[in-house]
Structure 1
């Protein structure tokens, strides 16, 4: 910011949408010293060092992805580069869900969170091993692979980046050790004073020769263990043990009880998104509170650069390329209002993280994390993990973003190219 100018940067003429502050206006947004400085219908032409014309675009608080897997290298093929998932995809803040553990958190801080241009936080794994290869080996996630007291200590010592605890409640684990690990994880979360984020939907195969686990009974036993700050993930999963009862095909009654008690819902898109399950859940009046893309090395194109140049990072390369804005488009297509969709990636996750005074809004004085988005009209093809194809009348695409007031170019190879559908 020069001596002759009030601001470093002004975004001019965009539609400013800020759910936290109830803002919906066409106007200017100013940034100074990495902070939101002003929002007005028109600021003086000589007010800033740089003025960027964003006419026709949306200007929103910086997007927050509540379900990322970015513990690159340490979690094997599972972990993606944080900036590829983050600022290069138009996302300001990432929450790694269960990648680092009490043993590997120092490496996560030093080699991921600190060098990343994206604000990179985590929900600490309840398990000693964290998210190695995406929890590919169930034998590593049993009750004796959890250290409650040590994880509480590490979480308390690193509250600046540890915002919750991650664990799994699904039939494969339940067939081995019931809900013992969830009970341990809840003790950890309560000991640190953070939410417990619970994966729903089958992850591991059930034990051969053992007694089959009733997925509905599992959900019924799980919910009473949780309280109002906790989070149920993957409401739209196509796998058994989610929100939709395998008996009735409708939302399980215990889910309503959970929401009445204040538990919240995170989409956790990833490999768990089904249009059919989403329709049933939304028709039942259940809206997601937060939206995590759940990108990882097994469900997106993830080029890795090494001595031999770019190579395929995993055997499932390119199965389902998508992004956070792509997931936002799907919610919009399913009938959610644009304002409600924006809440899931701005004000709601900021509140869930306990950071509503720092991110998730365009309030003067807060961090200048800003998303500039385009909503492109047309006929766009979307597809889910079950193979269903849906035609969307609008597509949300990131143009660029600001992270602490610095312009970030959107050039991630993970961003899917919108596929137009012939009229």
Structure 2
């Protein structure tokens, strides 16, 4: 009688890049019982029940999207279906940035994280209401709507899913309430012993009576002293006031010192990203540590996201939404943007594997293809040619290399990259 194959699945002949294991070369990856069973230069096809030829593809540890919005329905049109952002886009772990709060986390766990095939984690909102459509209802985001004790308790009791806190340092909030909300968010993260992920760049707009003497270009220098090592500065390449590059086109003087004392930088691509400002910041020496796609229902073309009941009449038509005209993108498209801006593939892979695993304090379970780890694997096509990428300012760049998801393995299960929100390649 023939001996039964030893492996369930074999990925054969791809370029394996696993920074955590120091591997970069053609390897075969074998999976058994949902775990990585072997990574070797050659494994006999007969040793596996199923063999997938991945020659000319990239085989990476399961990619981690550090900035998602997947609290579907509860966060209005922001919330996307988690597997559309995750496994159906080639991404095995998605961090929801500020969707759930201490009040709404039980629903997030029960109805989002548990049913999803994607590994869904959260940075808990500092606000009691969480990530609702705050640009419609900014008064929900004032200091009276933050409960430090309740949020610390929630984060501490749900550490399996809550890996950080989300805060907003932007001119609309500062003009209304000053720095108090950020002080409270920093205290929550410090007491919870998790990172604080801080949004920079205008978000909710300004009060009708003006900016109350606030200057967007001073927000960074006031917020950064509140932060601890490991906290994350998001949206370094934002096109909105209050980001890393000031109105004079200069990198803010506090950024390098912040990085030197252990603060991290996350791209947070999304509706804020500008190639123009990214070039300026990179030229000044700012190299982000992690990469989040920041996809949500306003900046992707999504099938039938309903308008929430109670939405102000002037915003019921999506043509009037505040992020109108966005380019479609994904985590792999964001990786392609980083490469087009001059970062090498090997570093960009770290931005979506080992670096976010460390940010999450989960290096022992994420970001590696080491034998014995859960078989979370992202397989990408590395397409050569000339492709047009554009940002929110409709600035266009030419990419000679475009990464596109082919499929992923989540706990060893193969899932094709068929998400309807994935962008199509546009030839130059």
Q: Does 1:47 align with 2:54?
A: no
SS in 2 for 1:221: helix
Please report how far the alpha carbon of residue 46 of structure 1 lies from its aligned counterpart in structure 2 after TM superposition. 1.8
In the other structure, the counterpart of 1:138 is 138
In the other structure, the counterpart of 2:65 is 65
In the alignment, the residues of structure 2 paired with residue 335 and residue 305 of structure 1 have an alpha-carbon distance, to the nearest angstrom, of 36
Residue ranges of structure 1 left out of the alignment (5+ in a row)? 307-311
Equivalent in 335, 339, 348 of residue 342 of structure 2 = 335
Compared with structure 1, are the counterparts of its residues 32 and 133 closer, same or farther at alpha carbon in structure 2 (3 Å cutoff)? same
Deviations 1:291-347 (A, max 9, x none): 0000001111011389xxxxx994458732111100110001001000111111111
In the alignment, the residues of structure 2 paired with residue 194 and residue 168 of structure 1 have an alpha-carbon distance, to the nearest angstrom, of 16
Deviations 1:69-106 (A, max 9, x none): 00001111110100011111111000000000011000
Instruction: Kindly report which structure 2 residues correspond to 1:132-281, keeping only aligned pairs within 5 A, or say none.
Output: 132-133=132-133, 135-207=135-207, 208-246=209-247, 248-281=248-281
Instruction: Kindly report which structure 2 residues correspond to 1:42-121, keeping only aligned pairs within 5 A, or say none.
Output: 42-121=42-121
SS in 1 for 2:214: coil
Alpha-carbon RMSD across the aligned residues, in angstroms, is 1.6
Compared with structure 1, are the counterparts of its residues 288 and 3 closer, same or farther at alpha carbon in structure 2 (3 Å cutoff)? farther
In the alignment, the residues of structure 2 paired with residue 223 and residue 121 of structure 1 have an alpha-carbon distance, to the nearest angstrom, of 25
Tell me the number of residue pairs that the alignment of Structure 1 and Structure 2 aligns. 414
Question: Given the two structures, how large is their TM-score scaled by the length of structure 1?
Answer: 0.95
CA contact (8 A) 2:326 2:391 kept: no
CA contact (8 A) 1:78 1:134 kept: no
Please report how far the alpha carbon of residue 205 of structure 1 lies from its aligned counterpart in structure 2 after TM superposition. 2.1
SS in 1 for 2:197: strand
Please report how far the alpha carbon of residue 209 of structure 1 lies from its aligned counterpart in structure 2 after TM superposition. 4.0
In the other structure, the counterpart of 2:366 is 359
Please report how far the alpha carbon of residue 3 of structure 1 lies from its aligned counterpart in structure 2 after TM superposition. 6.9
Question: Given the two structures, how large is their TM-score scaled by the length of structure 2?
Answer: 0.94
In the alignment, the residues of structure 2 paired with residue 150 and residue 324 of structure 1 have an alpha-carbon distance, to the nearest angstrom, of 33
The more displaced of 77-86 and 18-27 is: 18-27
SS in 2 for 1:72: coil
In the other structure, the counterpart of 1:319 is 326
Q: Does 1:368 align with 2:380?
A: no
In the alignment, the residues of structure 2 paired with residue 133 and residue 351 of structure 1 have an alpha-carbon distance, to the nearest angstrom, of 30
In the alignment, the residues of structure 2 paired with residue 213 and residue 399 of structure 1 have an alpha-carbon distance, to the nearest angstrom, of 47
In the other structure, the counterpart of 1:125 is 125
The more displaced of 205-214 and 115-124 is: 205-214
Residue ranges of structure 2 left out of the alignment (5+ in a row)? 307-315
In the alignment, the residues of structure 1 paired with residue 26 and residue 134 of structure 2 have an alpha-carbon distance, to the nearest angstrom, of 43
